[in-house]
Amino acid sequence: MGSVVPLFPEDANSNGAAAPNIIAALDIGSMQVACLIGERQKTRKGQPASVRIIGHAVQLSHGVKAGVIVDPLAAEHAVRSVMSRAERMAGTQVEQVWVNLSGGFPRTRTLTAELALHGQAVEQCHLDMVAARALAEFDAGTRLVVQVAPAGFSLDGGPWIANPTGLVGDMLQGRVNVVSVDRGPLRNLEQTLAACQLGIAGMLSAPVAAADAVLTEDERTLGVLLADIGAAQTGWAAFADGMLLEAGATPVGGHHITYDIAAGLHTPISDAERLKTMHGSVLPTALHAEESISYPALGEHGPAGWQNTSSAELQAIILPRMEEILEMLRQATAHLPPAARQRVVLVGGGAQLTGLADLAEKALQARVRISGVRTIAGLPAKLAGPAHATVAGLVQAALKPDAQGFDIARQAEAMVAAAGGYLGRVKRWFRESF
């Protein structure tokens, strides 16, 4: 996503400390909580940073609904349990984690500004200035800003590039992506982690994190839309020219399919999830219409409490909801540039339905692939599937935090403090820069 614009340089790595050797990522979802602990590997100068997974754990989530913590004690217990198991495997204790942000209705806004250069060569201070100018009139209202990331620069109306430092021009234009969330869900997440004696090392929205685990550099450059079909919602992030263009979410996900199955077949929710996972399909009905599936009836016990359905009947329940998910995704991203919609990469637990790639290609009119996690040393095969792209991406993001934009989750209190808040801070810094 380009080099960092140090909007508030006094806060970033002010103590000059070296990057930590131990990296921990925590994905708190509506269906599961997953933790990966990695050890930074020694690399030669000029080589990209790498990590080896030394601890991992996954368990069912509790106290989380639609990506939002609704029962702090249950959520705390789930986080403590998964962290304890991962720490025992890694042989180390974690104090800070990179965490995903899926609740609180994450919203991305792209801001632009210009700065006259009068034939000067671009320096870092110019990038700082144009970014601050873009942010100066932004008002988050009651929402909290959790990430500020540069989204490209242009000289004299030329192409958008990640870093124009050293180039000469008369007018510098800059774009900045600002990710904000509702105040309550973020506070509840922070409090839950604090109760587990965990600090936040970094925070990314789920689809942006997943992108680090599954996308290639060519996809980011040519344009791609990543869609993370989670349990409660479908998050998306669009990229082009190697940079994040926009991210968002629609409020329907894989758990809605599970509920449809449970209601339609009169079976417990846990068994509906099993039916979806083991037999779920959106293939044409004729390909599997004769297959018979046994499942328990809701509220019944013993051998008499089992009933049968056909694959065709199960598919008839799943297909309309998945078509709705894809249509909502299409509508939410219709305003994006064509380059960012011509290729789609699907991840998340809901992306594992048989036949989904073909269905999505028709619904989205794009080339579609279902992606697992690209190779990470030490990552077990069971955690390399589409359902774990977010937690794996958080590990990758932690290796290069400067590429994620300036993460200001740690400054959430300062941003809403009475003394000026975020907007006032940007304006003060902007005036001082000039």
Dist CA 193 CA 72 (whole Å): 10
Dist CA 154 CA 175 (whole Å): 9
The helices-and-strands tally (H runs, E runs) of the chain is: 12, 18
What count of residues does the chain have?
434
Which has the higher per-residue pLDDT, 334 or 103? 334
Q: Is 254-317 in the same CATH topology as 107-181+408-433?
A: no
Dist CA 266 CA 45 (whole Å): 60
Q: Which residues contact 309 (CB under 8 A, 6 or more apart)?
A: 265, 292, 293, 295
Reported as a single tens digit per residue, the pLDDT across 360-371 is: 999 999 999 999
Q: Classify domain 107-181+408-433 at the CATH class level.
A: alpha beta
CATH T-level topology, domain 254-317: Nucleotidyltransferase; domain 5 (3.30.420)
- Provide mean pLDDT across the span 258-263: 96
Say what percent of the chain tops pLDDT 70.
86
Dmax over Cα atoms in the chain, in whole Å? 83
Backbone angles phi, psi at 248, to 5 degrees: -170, -170
Backbone angles phi, psi at 164, to 5 degrees: -90, 10
Reported as a single tens digit per residue, the pLDDT across 31-82 is: 899 999 999 988 777 677 789 999 999 999 999 988 889 999 999 999 999 9
Question: Which three-class secondary structure state does DSSP give residue 238?
Answer: strand
Instruction: State the pLDDT at residue 285.
Output: 62
Domain ranges of the chain: 107-181+408-433, 254-317
Per-residue pLDDT at 309 exceeds 50: yes
User: Which of 41-55, 113-127, 190-204, 247-261 is least confident?
Assistant: 41-55
Quick one: pLDDT band at residue 127, thresholds 50, 70, 90? confident
Quick one: pLDDT band at residue 239, thresholds 50, 70, 90? very high
For residue 33, which of 167, 235, 193, 271 has the smallest C-alpha distance? 193
Per-residue pLDDT at 9 exceeds 50: no
Dist CA 27 CA 301 (whole Å): 35
Among 163-167, 326-330, 401-405, 416-420, the range with the most confident prediction by mean pLDDT is: 326-330
Question: How many CA atoms, within 13 angstroms, populate the side-chain half-sphere of residue 240?
Answer: 14
Say what percent of the chain tops pLDDT 90.
56
Q: Where are the alpha helices (DSSP H) in 157-251?
A: 183-195, 206-214, 217-222
Sheet of strand 144-155: strand arrangement: 107-116, 171-181, 144-155, 406-407
